[in-house]
A and B are shown apart, each in its own frame.
Chain A
Amino acid sequence: MPFNLHAKPFLILLALFLTSCATPKLDLKTEPLTGEEYYTLNVPLVPRENCAAGALVLKGPSGGRSQGNAPIKAILKLAHEEHDYTINPHETLTLSVDGERNRVEVITSFKEQNQDVENFPLYLPTGKVVSLGMIKDITRRRISFFLLPEQFSKIYAAKEVFIEIAAPHRAATSLHGYPILLELIPENTHEVQEFKSKCTSNSLNNTREEK
């Protein structure tokens, strides 16, 4: 079912929560255990089929420590608007760049059932305000995988980038339909290129000064 912004205002909040902001966000972060610095790029994806919201997170080392042939670490974040406890072992993840389909190997796949609360203030005639809540069941998913350098370099020159989660027809036992389809819109692909250049060039000091 296509994502309908007017019909589902809750999904807007959900999408904002999931992606933090509507535009790609490049951050310099610190590894909590070792203190090593790295870049992350959080790119919002447009949900096209069978999911409510999505984002792609990329991670790369800072200060030009990235090796040219090293795969890029990536996480696909998804949200479904109901509680889904099923885990389909036959799922496949495919990256489609300008019609060229490449299956990527999934490293980890997590599913977490949560509830999101949306509060509405109710103004009483006495002047008091009562906060009423609306609860929505959601399932958040995180699928980690690697992007090969050749796949990665095609993304920022592409006109159409889709990420698809599919399952063989007989194995599609999940409550949710397949395929799950998300689009990386062309307006956001130039940020991917900037992320790549940050990871491969020695620009750490520049970034610190900018901050």
Chain B
Amino acid sequence: MKCSEFLNELTNYLDGALDARTKSELDDHLAWCHNCYVVCDTTRKTIEIYRDSELYELPEDLRTRLRSAIMTKCSEHKKSDPPST
């Protein structure tokens, strides 16, 4: 397997979305190709770091304010356009 072929399958490999035979071919490649091993490992870390990062958390006071505004608008919408029964 060439490194470019490995890279093409990297997303499926990391997501565990490969059949056993293809996965085994990729595992074999990783066992001897240090560069692909590093790319694979650091890509997995990239995903984990972003997943665990708390970027753009919604502060609780803003959250309450937004929810209240949403429900007020929904209530106004209901009054102006009541659901047909």
Partners in one complex: no
Task: List residues of chain B with CB under 8 Å of any chain A CB.
Answer: none
